[in-house]
Amino acid sequence: MSFPTEWRNPSLYINGIFTGARADRRFEVFNPADGTLVGSAPDAGAAETESAIAAAHAAFHGWSRQTANDRAALMRRLYDLILVHKEALAQLLTTEQGKPLAEARGEVQGGADYVLWFAEEARRVYGETIQANVPNKRLLVLKQPVGVVGAITPWNFPFSMLTRKGAPALAAGCTVVVKPAEHTPLIALAFATLVHEAGFPPGTFNVVTGSDPAPIGNALLTDARVRKISFTGSTAVGKMLMKAGADQMKKFSLELGGHAPFLVFADADLNEAVKGAIASKFRNAGQTCICANRMLVQREVASEFASRLAEAAAGLQVGPGTLPGVAIGPLIDERAVRKVQDHVEDAVAAGAKVLCGGSRVEDRSGNFFAPTVLLGVTPSMRVMTEETFGPVAPVLAFDTEEEAIRLANDTPYGLAAYAYTRDLGRAMRLADGLEYGIVGINDPTPTVVQAPFGGIKESGVGREGGKYGLEAYLELKYVSLGL
């Protein structure tokens, strides 16, 4: 793999210094495609996190008072450095996380785009003046950075989630302590070397890795100097963090689980719907929180859609992400494979029919699961009630638009929903009626840096991306000035 060997066994990044964990403790990182050892990361806990928080807190005063232009200039330099190292970062990402190299390149570019977007947005933070009710007062609204931010990132998009949180925080004038997921610590520490090279002041951006998230998370949640937690991960952990942070009334941005419905109406362009379903369902081997999880298809076209989808899915090449032509890489670990297998077995036992795939790929040593399409599923099967987080597309038939919307909304989740239709009125009714933070109509890939990303219900709190992503790191201060 062509990335610097130093990236295999990196150090923590605290207060602008690369340093080991206490007693030089480390934990190993494995390639999910073949189980081989990639390298190791420092195994930090509460003490190292406390040092990082202290550094971020000390740096906040100076960083928050730099001009937006100066902060933007550093971020622009960071953007350029990411692009210089784009290929190496993508290779590391595929090695550590498993996704096909083309997707890894896309993620690194997307991650860089957040840095550029927020570098530009940094200069566009505007306050307000309000009409006073007496002549000798002036009422002002100031926007100020919230303070030290704890950013907890997931393994499925370990690079772009780092920048989707880190970039707006830094742009707003906050300082950051990042805790990457234990499966993917290396990409975050590689990113830290670029932050360092760009010349950010010591303590503005810190990365603490560990094999056990709990002590690091606890340190972030119980330290009053940390004013905000930005988390992307499971709903269960998100709820736990929010409860723990309630004591200090920390601010939260939470991007949690999804259970996206993918609606196909009989009036849709079926070719486009199949292409869209492949793009939405099988990206990152189905391990994205906005992945289509439930295919709801109008009865007239359900079996045709399912068989076309199965034909397309069966044609997706499964293998290590570094092999040319591979579209489906390994799942992150054995536990993930078992969960997907359980979901498929549960559906089959209750009468679903496997149109393609249906099992792990036995002739490969890694965590590979064959792209799977199931027909004849019912709403009570686990594939229809839980997030599968794997390459499984269950197809359920519906009759009417009202039924489709009701089925789509019948979940505690509310992150992303998709629909295919050529009827403009229906498209607008779906946009109105689907209880989701993101709705893609005839669009399977709605995520862009300039738009708000986030969910409602148990899928989370707050939005990342766009101007909204910056607001999440700003507090309003109202000043009433007597003259």
Q: Determine, following the binding rule CB under 6 A, whether residue 182 of this chain makes contact with ligand ADP.
A: yes
- Cβ of 12: how many Cβ atoms within 10 Å? 25
Q: Determine, following the binding rule CB under 6 A, whether residue 119 of this chain makes contact with ligand ADP.
A: no
Which lies closer to ligand ADP via its Cβ, residue 234 or residue 303?
234
For tokens 């899928």, name the residue.
459
Do the Cβ atoms of 30 and 40 come closer than 8 Å?
no
Q: Determine, following the binding rule CB under 6 A, whether residue 176 of this chain makes contact with ligand ADP.
A: no
Which lies closer to ligand ADP via its Cβ, residue 288 or residue 411?
288
Which lies closer to ligand ADP via its Cβ, residue 20 or residue 213?
213
- Residues β-bridged to residue 28: 40
Q: What is the Cα–Cα distance from 372 to 390, expressed in whole angstroms?
A: 9
Question: Closest Cα partner for 390 from 256, 267, 287?
Answer: 287
Q: What is the Cα–Cα distance from 330 to 332, expressed in whole angstroms?
A: 6
Build a one-symbol-per-residue string for 127-166: x at contacts with ligand ADP by CB under 6 A, - elsewhere.
-------------------------xxx------------
- The least CB distance from residue 43 to ligand ADP, in Å, is 13
**Residue of closest CB approach to ligand ADP:** 217
- Cβ of 198: how many Cβ atoms within 10 Å? 19
Which lies closer to ligand ADP via its Cβ, residue 99 or residue 179?
179
Burial readout 40-49 (b: 16 or more C-beta within 10 A, e: otherwise): bbbbbbbebb
Question: In this chain, which stretch among 179-187, 304-312, 366-374, 440-448 interacts with ligand ADP, using CB under 6 A?
Answer: 179-187
Q: What is the Cα–Cα distance from 429 to 447, expressed in whole angstroms?
A: 21
Question: In this chain, which stretch among 15-23, 211-219, 263-271, 293-301 interacts with ligand ADP, using CB under 6 A?
Answer: 211-219
Q: Is 174 designated active site?
A: no
Which candidate in 48, 96, 121, 255 is catalytic? 255
Site for ligand ADP in 372-431 (CB under 6 A): none
Q: Determine, following the binding rule CB under 6 A, whether residue 237 of this chain makes contact with ligand ADP.
A: yes
Build a one-symbol-per-residue string for 217-236: x at contacts with ligand ADP by CB under 6 A, - elsewhere.
x---------------xx--
- C-alpha separations of 77 from 29, 71, 89, 176 in Å: 30, 10, 17, 18
Q: What is the Cα–Cα distance from 341 to 331, expressed in whole angstroms?
A: 12
Q: What is the Cα–Cα distance from 319 to 337, expressed in whole angstroms?
A: 14
Which candidate in 174, 289, 291, 356 is catalytic? 289
Q: Is 304 designated active site?
A: no
Just list the catalytic residues: 255, 289
Under the rule (CB under 6 A), what is the footprint of ligand ADP?
Answer: 152-154, 179, 181-182, 213-214, 217, 233-234, 237
